[in-house]
Chains A and B, each alone.
Chain A
């Protein structure tokens, strides 16, 4: 089984967010593997362990993503590929990223491609389905279970709380929803082994892509923080009176009930 994982290095959004010069300040911030991509890595490893084969983790970004790729290798992935766009692309979007990944994958004969269903920084959830469409394979998003039997797959998809049981065939791209599995922590021997595992670095040139081929179709013109909320009112007095007051406030002042 030839398995690929799409991984993004993301800003840990549990960090405080500040803006400087129109950009989110990244100095000193913690960067992590996008949490949904951790489920994808874990699932890829479990499928390989059950079915045999190889797991390759791909990331599009700059050289700093090497750290997160090494973590994926330490979890148990076999190979990593960094498509380094730092010198070629200043402002990419999901069109850009999907086109690059699809170009890389088009002759790889992947049986299974797994990504997270959304990245917690950009939050668009586009890249997985876009890649599947570009390379002409079916996809299922937000999955919570995956069973593979020969060339067929039975997948459970989370649909706003309901579950769909879907039968489809390989090659297939799926995106992970929370609950798919419990991602493992890298073990110490895993971390030692990861240092020797192959991590290939490519640029657009290596994929026969020109900057124009992947030029973004969208542009961010402003980034801003939400308006600071004024401190709320903690009610006082007898509990029964507080409850009465709250209902009145919601009805008359906030007008939401």
Chain B
């Protein structure tokens, strides 16, 4: 059954996030040959429309307003609901990001629709669009379908492959005029803590430290390795609880769930709490002094040794690789 599917493109620091291209790919599956329409909300964002089309959207609808310069659930819901009203889609896909998590339930409640959050896979099977999503902190998975109404899902970053960018693709980028009424919440200030590094949820490579880093300074060699690899830095609960780093870096059952291509765990014992946040990473490397540490049970490659010796050597070795590449 061909469906018209809307995809919300998410803009950060003036560019579209990768997860938006992944969402377009998911929307293509949901559409089953129907039209995929990108939606951009914000202030002067229409120039980004063409990139959504190059990644597979058929056309793009833009709502621009100064009240949409920053995300608020009230502002974005007004813009998006106006587009939904005019387009009458049968499907809706967002990224499962901070924004997507916050906005999607409001839209679903407004439309009295179902919503499948945090999908890591989507396929057409037996006449249904079937989503796969992790449950029980990633220790199990469920396959889920929408039984009534709009096919609405959010997709977890880094799991659904985007389509190849095709710069020859073109399509219509149109604008819809919407009057954004009063917002009930006002953002007074944004404190950027995560800006210095790569965002954890979308990072392809993560270098993560545990109690074994021993101090805030102990994260320095990890940061150097991350720099060479273009990686994000993460941490276990142990390291956060001990005040070696900010809680915003925490990966685990409480904290962030990540699925990078490569996860390098340094001085992390591998408590269940931590494994819940990273065990679905594609390749896991463990560096730990204790050969009995639990982390080696989930690691693809392990080095038994002191991270303060091993990590700087790794950094040097990766530098050589980059030079030769």
Binding site for B on A (CB under 8 A): 11, 13-14, 17, 19, 24, 35-36, 93-95, 98, 120-134, 138-142, 154, 158-169, 178-179, 215-226, 229, 231-235, 239-240, 242-244, 246-247, 249-251, 254, 256-257
Contacts and interface: CB of A to CB of B under 8 A. Distances in A.
B309 interface: yes
Interface of B is mostly: mixed
B291 interface: yes
A217 B116 CA distance: 10
Nearest to B300: A232
A163 B109 contact: no
Interface residues of B, number: 93
List of 5 A-B pairs having minimum Cβ-Cβ separation, nearest first = A217-B114, A161-B194, A161-B248, A133-B109, A129-B105
Contact of A239 (B185, B249, B309): B309
Interface in B190-204: 190-195, 199-201, 204
Given A13-B136, A126-B104, A167-B185, 5 more contacts: A134-B109, A163-B190, A166-B186, A243-B317, A246-B314
12 contacts: A14-B253, A14-B272, A94-B105, A120-B136, A124-B117, A125-B105, A126-B104, A130-B108, A131-B109, A138-B184, A162-B195, A217-B113
B296 interface: yes
A244 B272 CA distance: 30
Contacts of B296: 232, 234
Contacts of B108: 94-95, 126, 130
B115 A94 contact: yes
B291 to A, nearest CB: 7
B94 to A, nearest CB: 12
A129 B109 CA distance: 8
Contacts of A169: 184
Interface of B: 73-74, 97-98, 101-102, 104-106, 108-110, 112-118, 130, 133-149, 184-195, 199-201, 204-205, 229, 246-250, 253-255, 261-262, 272-273, 276, 279-280, 282-286, 291, 296-305, 309-310, 313-314, 317-318, 321
B143 A222 contact: yes
B291 A225 contact: no
A160 B201 contact: yes
Contact of B299 (A124, A216, A217, A232): A232
A95 B97 contact: no
Given A138-B185, A159-B98, A216-B114, A17 B139 contact: yes
